[in-house]
Chain A
């Protein structure tokens, strides 16, 4: 008998009912009647016992990942179902799950509420995993013998962890976690770990640092090389300067050479000439000027005498003057001719006016004749001249015509009235009717008075009065037609005959024209008479003007013109007075021009004669001055004079040229260096100088090349030195290197800490193994000892290797491999029971499921095992699946719940 540890939770979780919607061979199947303690579920082969176990596992802990392992319903129904449980707390929970990914879809009915909270589900199952449950709580015979099943998914670790008092914490997990950590940091082989990568990075950075550091000797070397080259360069530059100076000196001397030759030439020339004289500065100019004056005066005299292409000479002028003959007598007639010429236009106008007046007189005479014919026979100009005042007669005739028109208008009016009245004489006599009415009313008024109706009577009287008074308005009492006819008769018989008599009398007696003429005809005749009278007056005026104004002056002019004829030669050339005048004027103008030209020639001759005399005088004076000039410097003649001056000019010129050459030399070679230069150049020829200069040129070029080469070399080295300087900052690289180094050290320490942890853990585990076996092993040992009837005393497990050994009563050990199958199964059942016992001290106790575990047990051990299980199930639920109906017999005398499938 073993003393089993109490279940700290009291009663473990118990499955009460199962309802399978669809799972393998099961569908729509309720399974009820499960109780606390031993439940023996019996079913023949292929009744679905294993399927039911899987249903319980899958429902509580999730469906497998692979669909084909999920036990899909073969007989229809929704894939899944539910399990109603009584928890260790006494509360009820229904776990429902349908097949699906990630374990399937869950529904938890707990505390009267439905939830799909996976965490709560897990918590109610004591956070046990599916694997743990499968291997420890729900194991079959086949599974039992698979030793590996203990090792899978950390179950083995959990056995030990539980035994070590670590609850759910897995020592293996901690170890593997730490191992992973340290291996990620460092592995002796491989380049993927962190330290190896960091080392690679470190070495790269270190290489870069070393590259920079290795520049230091090069930098030093460069500095030294630069110094050496710089010293050499300075020396070459000095040599170059010396050569350049010599080159420059020779070039200067060469540049002086031409001037030196010129100065020498001048010096020799001066030796052959007289000394410099102080002649007047403008001597030659003065001579040239006098000679110029002389020449121009001679030319002027010749021109005056003989003339030029443009001007006539004196001789020619005198001949021309003498050839002109002037008509003086004609010129004396200038006054008369002027008068004739001036009056010629007036004379011509007067002749034209005279002719025009003649034509007008003739036109008037024709007009008068025509007018006289229109008036009538018997009328002539004399008759007209005697006719009285036409205006008075016209007024008189107009009076007759007015009277006649008045009579006509009166007669027409009367005749019209007569006609109208005769046509419109009225049928009612309105006034008579008015009187009758007024009388009638008056009678009525009298009747009123009689009847003493005074007021109406008075009114009637008044009305009668008014009608009577207004009767005239309604008609006349006289006949007007009679009056009109009376007036008309008087007119026709008296007034019209009287007028006619007066009129005819006046025409015949006063005007001596026919009396039958109408007033209009008479006025017309009077108008003609009046017109003829005006024309006669005009004719008289024209004739008077001709006789008074025109004729005398025309005649006088003609006579005056004729008086010029004796002075002209071409008398036959003119026909009219006008032509005479024109001819005379032309002749006069010609004579006048001749006179003027002769006079002008005379003036020119006199002027030129004066000029000639003056030029001759000046010429004499010029010759005198020239003589004096020559005598001034003792020259015999003009050529000698000029020679003297030319020599003196040459002396001056040579002096100037020489001085200029000296100046140029001193400008090139320096002040007061002429003598020195002169001395040098007199002993060196130009070719030698050229040759020396060329040699120096080559030397300078060579040295310049060397300077250039050295400068370039120094420059290159400086560039390299500067580059090294520029790239020589180490702080960044070194700091980066240090950063990586620090990281290496940090990682090393992390690695070292992990390794230390692992080592010390291993040490503790070894010690524990030596000194303390885990509680699981102890519990298992008790179960195993009981099951084997005390043949085996205890079990020992190596924590490091996880190897199980058993010890008999004499403490002889055996490895598990040497046990018989039945004993091995008993050992494994003991281990599981021991684990469950320890596990439940810290977690929710779950129902234990075993499947055909007694097959290989001998009767004694079977019976003992049944008893152990019965005792184990006192506070738990144990579901025993079997195909042997006799299994319940093993529990003889013990309370079990039998369920047949």
Chain B
């Protein structure tokens, strides 16, 4: 008996979009419903595809944002799903741990919210239990225990066993290392499907026996969450490997694009070059709105021209304007960074015996020497007296520090090497 369900996670409803380079109210307004709309798209998909149930593997909202709307609208959509006779099962993650939910919220009768201890709910069709769904919610924000290890099938199980779990499998990467576990911890537990959440990049960790899947978040929220975002439509037949179909649900897509200007002689060629690069992104869908950061790289004769004040802004306005935000879908270029280099032999410069050569050597020395970098940046931090500003400064990674020094180097070299550029 086949079952069909949708697996999603990390909705992060009513949370902000980060990393947009300039303040733009129209853009902010445009984005305000994106997370809700992505969830609506999932509910629509459940109804249209007539799935048996919906699984949500935590982080439905961000408790630190203290959003009322997130929970209310979450329940509103669940009621719509319930109205279509489709039950939902969800666990709470680190962002929406059990204690953070509004205690007066009334979820529909056929929606199951798992508690902080392992529980099992059976899905029935025609009074026959087809699947057992197990889940453990985060009771507090920081759960460092291996929750996955606590999942055990009950006696006399249904033909299909599914585990919903919010946690980190393997290295955490950019994410908090909550509820960490390894594949080996769950491989022998005889579950058919591990519906995971927490990692925002979708990944099929293991194809079958068991299938271990992160669906990623259904809507990207910054340029670090680029690419297609959505959920998985899963079909499982006992004894067969699950069939997974990725369904895009995002309303706005975030992308970073690098364009190498090597060989490009005229700045007039840049707008079509950029437009083509946008269209050439993987799984580009013109029906989905898009916010793009473009980095121009490479050695180019256009380097000096691109460094002139207003040149990049002019280029951006050639490709898009504010009016694009009136359209749906829209295409918005968040910023264009000219990270180009002049078409000169830097080795020759460095070999020289003049001031420029000394400069290049010293900048490179700072870039390569972590201790010197730290000292340098520490001295900057001391100059930055404003505590409120300091609080909002994102700590720099070593790569960021190197980038900063490279940027500083070219601030000087662009002016010293004017005759060479």
Task: Tell me, yes or no, whether A196 is within 8 Å of chain B by CB.
Answer: yes
Question: Would A756 and B72 count as touching, CB distance under 8 A?
Answer: no
Task: Tell me, yes or no, whether B139 is within 8 Å of chain A by CB.
Answer: no
Closest to A181 in B: B411
Question: Would A199 and B389 count as touching, CB distance under 8 A?
Answer: yes
For the complex, what is the distance from the CA of A503 to the CA of B283, rounded to whole Å?
Answer: 163
Contact pattern, B 359-397, Cβ under 8 Å of A = 1, otherwise 0:
100110010000000001101100111101100111000
Closest to B381 in A: A752
Of B26-34, B163-171, B297-305, B317-325, which stretch is located at the interface? Answer: B26-34
Question: Would A756 and B376 count as touching, CB distance under 8 A?
Answer: yes
Contact pattern, B 383-421, Cβ under 8 Å of A = 1, otherwise 0:
111101100111000000000110111011001101100
For the complex, what is the distance from the CA of A745 to the CA of B389, rounded to whole Å?
Answer: 9
Contacts of A186 in B (CB 8 A): 384, 386, 389
Contact pattern, B 233-263, Cβ under 8 Å of A = 1, otherwise 0:
0000000000000000000000000000000
Question: Would B366 and A748 count as touching, CB distance under 8 A?
Answer: no
Report how many residues on chain B are interfacial, defined by Cβ distance under 8 Å.
63
Contacts of A215 in B (CB 8 A): 68
Number of CB contacts from chain A to chain B under 8 A: 186
Question: Would A735 and B20 count as touching, CB distance under 8 A?
Answer: yes
Q: A169-B416, A174-B416, A220-B104 are in contact. Are A752 and B380 (CB under 8 A)?
A: yes
Contacts of B14 in A (CB 8 A): 729-731, 734
Task: Tell me, yes or no, whether B265 is within 8 Å of chain A by CB.
Answer: no
For the complex, what is the distance from the CA of A484 to the CA of B377, rounded to whole Å?
Answer: 184
Question: Would B408 and A753 count as touching, CB distance under 8 A?
Answer: yes
Task: Tell me, yes or no, whether A677 is within 8 Å of chain B by CB.
Answer: no
Q: A165-B355, A167-B419, A223-B104 are in contact. Are A738 and B68 (CB under 8 A)?
A: no
Q: A219-B102, A735-B32, A745-B392 are in contact. Are A725 and B415 (CB under 8 A)?
A: no
Task: Tell me, yes or no, whether B287 is within 8 Å of chain A by CB.
Answer: no
Question: Would B18 and A736 count as touching, CB distance under 8 A?
Answer: no
Contact pattern, A 192-233, Cβ under 8 Å of B = 1, otherwise 0:
000110010111000000001101100110011001000000
Task: Tell me, yes or no, whether B24 is within 8 Å of chain A by CB.
Answer: yes
Contact pattern, B 279-310, Cβ under 8 Å of A = 1, otherwise 0:
00000000000000000000000000000000
- B residues 12-57 in Cβ contact with A at 8 Å: 14-25, 27-29, 31-35
Q: A174-B412, A754-B408, A756-B404 are in contact. Are A739 and B28 (CB under 8 A)?
A: yes
- B residues 84-142 in Cβ contact with A at 8 Å: 102-104
For the complex, what is the distance from the CA of A219 to the CA of B18, rounded to whole Å?
Answer: 27
Contacts of A165 in B (CB 8 A): 354-356
Task: Tell me, yes or no, whether A255 is within 8 Å of chain B by CB.
Answer: no
Question: Would A743 and B15 count as touching, CB distance under 8 A?
Answer: no
For the complex, what is the distance from the CA of A518 to the CA of B366, rounded to whole Å?
Answer: 186
For the complex, what is the distance from the CA of A195 to the CA of B388, rounded to whole Å?
Answer: 11
Contact partner of B388 among A203, A220, A224, A761, CB < 8 A?
A: A203
Contact pattern, B 328-348, Cβ under 8 Å of A = 1, otherwise 0:
000000000000000000000
Task: Tell me, yes or no, whether B273 is within 8 Å of chain A by CB.
Answer: no
Task: Tell me, yes or no, whether A411 is within 8 Å of chain B by CB.
Answer: no
Of A762-770, A800-808, A880-888, which stretch is located at the interface? Answer: A762-770
Closest to B335 in A: A746
Question: Would B23 and A739 count as touching, CB distance under 8 A?
Answer: yes
Question: Would A760 and B389 count as touching, CB distance under 8 A?
Answer: no
For the complex, what is the distance from the CA of A740 to the CA of B392, rounded to whole Å?
Answer: 10
Contacts of B19 in A (CB 8 A): 738, 742
- A residues 840-886 in Cβ contact with B at 8 Å: none
- A residues 150-192 in Cβ contact with B at 8 Å: 164-167, 169, 171, 173-174, 177-178, 186, 188
| Shortest CB distance A41–B (Å) | 37
Q: A216-B68, A731-B14, A764-B359 are in contact. Are A753 and B411 (CB under 8 A)?
A: yes
Question: Would B69 and A760 count as touching, CB distance under 8 A?
Answer: no
The A contact surface, by secondary structure, is helix
Closest to A200 in B: B388
Contact pattern, A 42-61, Cβ under 8 Å of B = 1, otherwise 0:
00000000000000000000
Contacts of B376 in A (CB 8 A): 756, 759
Contact partner of B393 among A178, A219, A748, CB < 8 A?
A: A748
Task: Tell me, yes or no, whether B80 is within 8 Å of chain A by CB.
Answer: no
Q: A755-B380, A757-B409 are in contact. Are A746 and B21 (CB under 8 A)?
A: yes
Q: A174-B412, A760-B362 are in contact. Are A724 and B68 (CB under 8 A)?
A: yes
For the complex, what is the distance from the CA of A743 to the CA of B362, rounded to whole Å?
Answer: 29
Question: Would A745 and B405 count as touching, CB distance under 8 A?
Answer: no
Task: Tell me, yes or no, whether B65 is within 8 Å of chain A by CB.
Answer: yes
Question: Would A737 and B22 count as touching, CB distance under 8 A?
Answer: no
Contacts of B185 in A (CB 8 A): none
Contacts of A763 in B (CB 8 A): 362
Question: Would A731 and B33 count as touching, CB distance under 8 A?
Answer: yes
Contacts of B70 in A (CB 8 A): 730
Contact pattern, A 677-710, Cβ under 8 Å of B = 1, otherwise 0:
0000000000000000000000000000000000
Question: Would A224 and B104 count as touching, CB distance under 8 A?
Answer: yes
Task: Tell me, yes or no, whether B66 is within 8 Å of chain A by CB.
Answer: yes
Contact partner of A756 among B103, B104, B385, B408, CB < 8 A?
A: B408
Task: Tell me, yes or no, whether B313 is within 8 Å of chain A by CB.
Answer: no
Task: Tell me, yes or no, whether A492 is within 8 Å of chain B by CB.
Answer: no
For the complex, what is the distance from the CA of A847 to the CA of B292, rounded to whole Å?
Answer: 58
| Shortest CB distance A191–B (Å) | 11
Closest to B29 in A: A732
Contacts of B386 in A (CB 8 A): 186, 188, 195-196, 199
| Shortest CB distance B373–A (Å) | 9
Which of A171, A174, A738 neighbours the largest number of chain B CB atoms within 10 Å of its CB?
A738
Task: Tell me, yes or no, whether A744 is within 8 Å of chain B by CB.
Answer: yes
Contacts of B145 in A (CB 8 A): none
For the complex, what is the distance from the CA of A239 to the CA of B15, rounded to whole Å?
Answer: 47
Question: Would A213 and B65 count as touching, CB distance under 8 A?
Answer: yes
Question: Would A732 and B28 count as touching, CB distance under 8 A?
Answer: yes
For the complex, what is the distance from the CA of A113 to the CA of B17, rounded to whole Å?
Answer: 64
Task: Tell me, yes or no, whether B67 is within 8 Å of chain A by CB.
Answer: yes
Contacts of B377 in A (CB 8 A): 752
| Shortest CB distance A93–B (Å) | 24
Task: Tell me, yes or no, whether B358 is within 8 Å of chain A by CB.
Answer: yes
Task: Tell me, yes or no, whether A363 is within 8 Å of chain B by CB.
Answer: no
Q: A188-B385, A763-B362 are in contact. Are A745 and B393 (CB under 8 A)?
A: yes
Closest to A218 in B: B68
Contact partner of A760 among B31, B67, B363, CB < 8 A?
A: B363
Contact partner of A164 among B24, B355, B389, CB < 8 A?
A: B355
Question: Would A736 and B25 count as touching, CB distance under 8 A?
Answer: yes
Task: Tell me, yes or no, whether A728 is within 8 Å of chain B by CB.
Answer: yes
Contacts of A355 in B (CB 8 A): none
For the complex, what is the distance from the CA of A757 to the CA of B404, rounded to whole Å?
Answer: 10
Closest to A187 in B: B385
Which of B23, B25, B356, B358 neighbours the largest number of chain A CB atoms within 10 Å of its CB?
B23
Contacts of A734 in B (CB 8 A): 14-16, 65
- A residues 712-741 in Cβ contact with B at 8 Å: 724-725, 728-732, 734-741
Contact pattern, A 9-23, Cβ under 8 Å of B = 1, otherwise 0:
000000000000000
Question: Would B380 and A166 count as touching, CB distance under 8 A?
Answer: no
Task: Tell me, yes or no, whether A485 is within 8 Å of chain B by CB.
Answer: no
Contact partner of A753 among B29, B393, B407, B415, CB < 8 A?
A: B407
Question: Would A744 and B393 count as touching, CB distance under 8 A?
Answer: yes
For the complex, what is the distance from the CA of A188 to the CA of B68, rounded to whole Å?
Answer: 39
Task: Tell me, yes or no, whether A327 is within 8 Å of chain B by CB.
Answer: no
Contact partner of A749 among B33, B68, B404, CB < 8 A?
A: B404
Contact partner of A730 among B22, B67, B409, B411, CB < 8 A?
A: B67
A to B CB contacts below 8 Å, 9 in the list: A164-B354, A188-B383, A730-B15, A731-B32, A732-B29, A732-B31, A739-B21, A742-B21, A748-B384
Besides A725-B69, A752-B380, 12 other CB < 8 A contacts? A165-B354, A166-B354, A166-B356, A169-B415, A219-B68, A220-B104, A730-B15, A731-B16, A731-B67, A739-B28, A743-B22, A760-B412
- Chain A residues with CB under 8 Å of chain B are 164-167, 169, 171, 173-174, 177-178, 186, 188, 195-196, 199, 201-203, 212-213, 215-216, 219-220, 223-224, 227, 724-725, 728-732, 734-746, 748-749, 752-757, 759-761, 763-765, 767-768, 772
